[in-house]
């Protein structure tokens, strides 16, 4: 099982701050497919380059879709913007 | 040549009537003689540089006497609103430009709120201020007229009290028909990290503009008047609606800027191991400062003139009602970083309070926080001791101490006088030369962004080549930290006009991303668009050159192809480099703090990462070549002659 922490902007639509993903998921690409089914609006956030993935508190900056996931991993979706 | 002769010579060349619909005048304001003359920016200059930051550079280039010193009243302070400021949604910005008393190089800073828009509403695109007023002065701009008022009743007031008094004395209401650019006691006392306040929080911050305005003995520029629509070349409101829709439909705006504001970046930076901590001795810090921890203290959001985004978080610490620093505006990401990890503070309430104090005292939180962090590291290393600090123990994480230091700095009291000289503390004889090794500055300007750029090489290059010094807002390639973009080479190539490595630590192609961002952001400043809602800073989907070109045509009747606007962005950087060249800036100044070349990061997935000198130097050369700059970092001959012709009225 994976634990997925959602940003505040998705929590209302998802009905929770975190999701338990029990489906077989081996990579972030596969996780994206699961999230797209479970969280309305997820695709648009991902497509608009707002979100990054952190796996066990390690931010993934490239080769994200192929990033392997293992049972027990904690995945967090992190809005990434800059400011002044 | 004295400033008045320079102004007279320039005025003789300038048109005395608007050159296109919506163009405002340039007012040349002699504060010493209390005289105002006005003219208009020539179209040839607008074609090359537009208005706002762009034409500000034209005026500085023509009026700067580099044989003087930055605080000399013969060096002008120039305000400029963008071509679209006050007209297009989210275009509420303007720039303030001079020779920086803090860094010693170009000073150019940008602010929003209402002042730039209301100035343009009064018929002025640029205000060129020079001469030292015989007594403290307030400029009152109303119905298109500029009057000189005695500012004696306002001297000694900081931002909160000044705004309250001005509103009571002049009538009207902030955000409705009243806007102001003003200084606090820090500006009056020539504190080099002082800002020109343009609102409760908004300020022209970087490079010591508050000190520059104080040196002219100008307390405030108050702008009054009802807002109105502009007579434009063609209808523009339909396209404004498209721009507003584009803004509001963008995920970054909808899910981040509108709801929380900019502190979101704290978390990615600390997870990456790239959060400047304790003056960048460390690079990660506590999750107690994540943006979500600000939520309980955020009663709402505020915004700038006619901006549909409203990205400015307000704060309320829910404490004593009588505590003037218990509520306010902010913090932004920069302040969160500078008064959190960079000085070792781990309580969000402390950061919010320090933010509110800085807003009242009129301080640039980036330079002020950096100056304090620098002093703390020097103390930690024994380079300075309690004998130098008046007995104060500069201990990391002591929020009460930091608060005390901020007040002392703003009044130049005790050790605060040292801190008030910011990055110039060695030059002023306060610290020994060895202290420079720990100064986190480029071109004499302390770093704006709390991000530690040893990992991300595009960020590092941007900080090195920024014309005003170490500042992320000139060219930051924020999208470099987005995995989805990095993993789509075709999209990334289209975005930056060529191949840019997907690997964050690679030096390959990063010059291309910085070049494109610098051009787009330069144009954004010249039209008055907010950086947060300009394409490439936070999203590839926000308005960029195509939208700017379309709306410039509607508003002014001046046709620019997007490629021509891209050239304008390059030109602005080129003129800034010509100005910096006159101030002694060269290739050796397009560099990074020594620490980033020598000390690797020790935590996170990128532990061991630092800047490789040879790789950096090669990347810098590629950036110069791509930017039509010589190996010394100034425009190549043909382009330089072209720029000089435009600047000198020979185009």
The per-residue pLDDT for range B243-268, each reduced to its tens digit, is 999 999 888 888 888 888 888 899 99
d(CA A35, CA B108): 45
- Please give the pLDDT value at position A13: 79
Give residues 275 to 334 of B whose Cβ lies within 8 Å of A: 292, 295, 332-334
CATH architecture of B237-432: Orthogonal Bundle (1.10)
pLDDT at residue B187 greater than cutoff 70:
yes
Task: Give contacts of B472 with chain A, Cβ < 8 Å.
Answer: 82
Give residues 419 to 448 of B whose Cβ lies within 8 Å of A: 448
Domain B3-224 grouped into CATH 3.60.9.10: yes
SS3 state of residue B81: strand
High-pLDDT (> 90) share of chain B, %: 96
Fold annotation for A2-73: Ubiquitin-like (UB roll) (3.10.20)
pLDDT at residue A50 greater than cutoff 80:
no
Total count of residues recorded for chain A: 84
Q: Least CA distance to A32: which residue of chain B?
A: B484
In the predicted model, what is the mean pLDDT of residues B265-274?
Answer: 94
- Please give the pLDDT value at position B330: 95
**8 A C-beta contact, residue B126 and residue B80:** yes
Give residues 188 to 207 of B whose Cβ lies within 8 Å of A: none
In the predicted model, what is the mean pLDDT of residues B82-103?
Answer: 98
User: Of the candidates B166, B78, B77, B81, which has an alpha carbon nearest to the alpha carbon of residue B117?
Assistant: B81
A54 interfacial to chain B (CB closer than 8 Å):
yes
d(CA B42, CA B71): 28
CATH architecture of B457-647: Orthogonal Bundle (1.10)
B482 interfacial to chain A (CB closer than 8 Å):
yes
Q: How confident is the model at residue A48 (pLDDT cuts 50, 70, 90)?
A: low
Task: Give contacts of B486 with chain A, Cβ < 8 Å.
Answer: 61-62, 64
- Domain map (residue ranges) of chain B: 3-224, 237-432, 457-647
**8 A C-beta contact, residue B55 and residue B45:** yes
* Residue A12, both tokens: 């209302």
User: Of the candidates B66, B18, B61, B68, which has an alpha carbon nearest to the alpha carbon of residue B43?
Assistant: B18
Q: Do A81 and B265 touch (CB under 8 A)?
A: yes
d(CA B34, CA B55): 24
Q: How confident is the model at residue B174 (pLDDT cuts 50, 70, 90)?
A: very high
Task: Give contacts of A61 with chain B, Cβ < 8 Å.
Answer: 272, 481, 483, 486, 504
B469-520 tens-digit pLDDT: 999 999 999 999 999 899 999 999 999 999 999 999 999 999 999 999 999 9
User: Of the candidates B364, B441, B425, B439, which has an alpha carbon nearest to the alpha carbon of residue B389?
Assistant: B425
Model ipTM value: 0.93
pLDDT at residue A45 greater than cutoff 80:
no
B121-169 tens-digit pLDDT: 999 999 999 999 999 999 999 999 999 999 999 999 999 999 999 999 9
In the predicted model, what is the mean pLDDT of residues B184-199?
Answer: 98
**8 A C-beta contact, residue B248 and residue B134:** no
User: Of the candidates B114, B113, B96, B13, which has an alpha carbon nearest to the alpha carbon of residue B56?
Assistant: B96
Cα–Cα distances in Å, from A84 out to B204, B390, B450?
Answer: 12, 33, 10
A14 interfacial to chain B (CB closer than 8 Å):
no
C-alpha angle B101-B102-B108 in degrees, rounded to nearest 5: 80
In the predicted model, what is the mean pLDDT of residues A14-43?
Answer: 90
d(CA B305, CA B608): 46
Mean model confidence pLDDT for chain B: 97
d(CA B73, CA B214): 10
B353-396 tens-digit pLDDT: 999 999 999 999 999 999 999 999 999 999 999 999 999 999 99
Q: Do A64 and B483 touch (CB under 8 A)?
A: yes
In Å, how far is B377's CA from the nearest CA of chain A?
A: 25
Task: Give contacts of B92 with chain A, Cβ < 8 Å.
Answer: none
B251, B272, B503 member nearest A45 (Cβ): B251
- Domain map (residue ranges) of chain A: 2-73
For chain B, first and last CA: distance in Å? 24
Task: Give contacts of A78 with chain B, Cβ < 8 Å.
Answer: 264, 267-268, 271
B76 dihedral zone (left: phi>0; alpha: psi -120 to 50; beta): beta
Q: Do A9 and B484 touch (CB under 8 A)?
A: no
User: Of the candidates B540, B585, B522, which has an alpha carbon nearest to the alpha carbon of residue B110?
Assistant: B522
Q: Which of A54, A61, A64 to mutate to test the interface with B (most CBs of B within 10 A)?
A: A61
A48, A54, A81 member nearest B262 (Cβ): A81
Q: Is B167 exposed, middle or buried (CB count within 10 Å of its CB: 0-12, 13-18, 19+)?
A: middle
A29 interfacial to chain B (CB closer than 8 Å):
no
Residue spans of alpha helices (H) in B473-609: 483-486, 489-496, 510-527, 545-556, 562-582, 594-598
Give residues 385 to 404 of B whose Cβ lies within 8 Å of A: none
B250, B268, B502 member nearest A59 (Cβ): B268
A48, A54, A64 member nearest B539 (Cβ): A48
Q: Least CA distance to B256: which residue of chain A?
A: A79
- B194: DSSP letter: B
Q: Do A82 and B333 touch (CB under 8 A)?
A: yes
Q: Do B260 and A53 touch (CB under 8 A)?
A: no
Cα–Cα distances in Å, from A53 out to A27, B34, B286?
Answer: 12, 59, 19
Q: Do A61 and B483 touch (CB under 8 A)?
A: yes
Q: Least CA distance to B201: which residue of chain A?
A: A84
d(CA B358, CA B406): 8
- Please give the pLDDT value at position B650: 79
Q: Do A53 and B483 touch (CB under 8 A)?
A: yes
**8 A C-beta contact, residue B119 and residue B142:** no
d(CA B371, CA B338): 10
Q: Least CA distance to A42: which residue of chain B?
A: B251
Q: Which of B90, B112, B204, B251 to mutate to test the interface with A (most CBs of A within 10 A)?
A: B251
- Please give the pLDDT value at position A49: 67
**Beta strand B25-30 pairing with B196-197:** unpaired
B252, B292, B541 member nearest A81 (Cβ): B252
Task: Give contacts of B481 with chain A, Cβ < 8 Å.
Answer: 52, 59, 61, 80
Give residues 33 to 52 of A whose Cβ lies within 8 Å of B: 44-52
In the predicted model, what is the mean pLDDT of residues B430-457?
Answer: 97
In Å, how far is B364's CA from the nearest CA of chain A?
A: 11
Q: Least CA distance to B492: which residue of chain A?
A: A49
Q: Do B484 and A45 touch (CB under 8 A)?
A: no
Q: Do B541 and A48 touch (CB under 8 A)?
A: yes
A56 interfacial to chain B (CB closer than 8 Å):
no
């Amino acid at each position: 099982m994976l634990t997925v922490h959602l940003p505040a902007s998705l929590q209302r639509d998802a009905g929770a701050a975190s999701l338990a993903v029990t489906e077989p998921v081996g990579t972030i690409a596969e996780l994206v497919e699961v999230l797209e089914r479970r969280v309305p609006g997820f695709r648009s956030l991902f497509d608009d380059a707002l979100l990054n993935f952190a796996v066990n508190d390690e931010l993934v900056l490239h080769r994200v879709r192929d990033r392997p996931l293992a049972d027990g991993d904690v995945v967090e979706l992190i809005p990434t913007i800059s400011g002044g | 040549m004295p400033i008045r002769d320079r102004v007279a010579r320039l005025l003789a060349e300038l048109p005395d009537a608007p050159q296109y619909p919506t163009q405002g005048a340039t007012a040349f304001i002699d504060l010493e003689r209390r005289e105002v003359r006005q003219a208009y920016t020539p179209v040839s200059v607008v074609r090359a540089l537009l208005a706002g930051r762009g034409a500000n550079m034209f005026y500085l280039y023509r009026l700067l006497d580099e044989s003087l010193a930055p605080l000399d009243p013969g060096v002008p302070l120039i305000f400029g609103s963008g071509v679209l400021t006050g007209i297009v949604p989210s275009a509420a910005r303007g720039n303030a430009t001079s020779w920086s008393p803090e860094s010693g190089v170009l000073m150019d800073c940008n602010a929003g709120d209402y002042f730039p828009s209301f100035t343009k509403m009064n018929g002025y695109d640029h205000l060129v201020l020079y001469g030292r007023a015989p007594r403290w002065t307030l400029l009152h701009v109303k119905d298109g007229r500029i009057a000189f008022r005695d500012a004696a009743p306002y001297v000694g007031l900081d931002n909160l009290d000044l705004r309250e008094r001005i509103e009571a004395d002049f009538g009207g209401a902030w955000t409705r028909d009243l806007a102001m650019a003003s200084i606090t006691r820090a500006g009056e006392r020539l504190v080099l990290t002082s800002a020109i306040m343009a609102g409760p929080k908004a300020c022209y911050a970087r490079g010591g503009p508050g000190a520059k305005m104080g040196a002219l003995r100008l307390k405030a520029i108050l702008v009054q008047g009802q807002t109105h629509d502009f007579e434009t070349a063609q209808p523009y409101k339909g396209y404004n609606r498209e721009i507003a829709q584009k803004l509001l439909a963008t995920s970054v705006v909808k899910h981040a800027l509108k709801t929380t504001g900019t502190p979101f970046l704290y978390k990615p930076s600390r997870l990456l191991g790239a959060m400047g901590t304790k003056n960048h001795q460390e690079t990660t810090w506590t999750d107690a400062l994540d943006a979500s921890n600000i939520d309980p203290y955020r009663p709402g959001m505020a915004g700038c003139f006619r901006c549909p985004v409203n990205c400015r978080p307000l704060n309320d610490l829910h404490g004593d009602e009588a505590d003037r620093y218990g509520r306010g505006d902010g913090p932004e990401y920069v302040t969160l970083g500078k008064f959190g990890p960079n000085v070792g503070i781990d309580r969000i309430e402390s950061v919010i309070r320090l933010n509110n104090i800085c807003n009242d005292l009129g301080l640039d939180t980036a330079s002020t926080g950096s100056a304090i962090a620098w002093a703390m590291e020097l103390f930690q290393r024994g380079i300075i001791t309690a004998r130098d600090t008046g007995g104060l123990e500069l201990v990391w994480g002591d929020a009460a101490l930091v608060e005390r230091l901020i007040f002392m700095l703003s009044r130049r009291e005790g050790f605060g006088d040292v801190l008030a000289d910011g990055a110039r503390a060695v030059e002023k004889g306060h610290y020994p030369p060895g202290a420079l090794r720990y100064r986190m500055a480029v071109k004499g300007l302390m770093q704006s962004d709390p991000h530690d750029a040893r990992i991300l090489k595009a960020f590092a290059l941007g900080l090195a080549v920024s014309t005003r010094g170490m500042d992320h807002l000139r060219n930051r390639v924020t999208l470099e930290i987005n995995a989805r973009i990095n993993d789509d080479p075709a999209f990334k190539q289209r975005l930056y006009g060529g191949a840019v490595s997907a690997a964050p630590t690679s030096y390959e192609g990063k010059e291309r991303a910085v070049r494109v961002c610098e051009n787009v952001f330069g144009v954004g400043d010249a039209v008055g668009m907010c950086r947060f809602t300009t394409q490439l800073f936070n999203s590839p989907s926000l308005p960029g050159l195509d939208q700017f070109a379309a709306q410039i045509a509607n508003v002014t009747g001046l046709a620019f192809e997007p490629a021509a606007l891209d050239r304008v962005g390059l030109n602005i950087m080129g003129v800034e480099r010509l100005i910096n060249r006159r101030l002694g800036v060269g290739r050796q100044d397009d560099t990074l703090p020594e620490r980033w070349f020598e000390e690797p990061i020790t935590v996170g997935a990128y532990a061991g990462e630092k800047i490789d000198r040879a790789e950096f130097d090669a990347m810098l050369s590629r950036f110069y070549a791509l930017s039509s700059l010589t190996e010394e970092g100034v425009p190549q001959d043909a382009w330089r002659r072209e720029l000089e012709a435009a600047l000198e009225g020979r185009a």
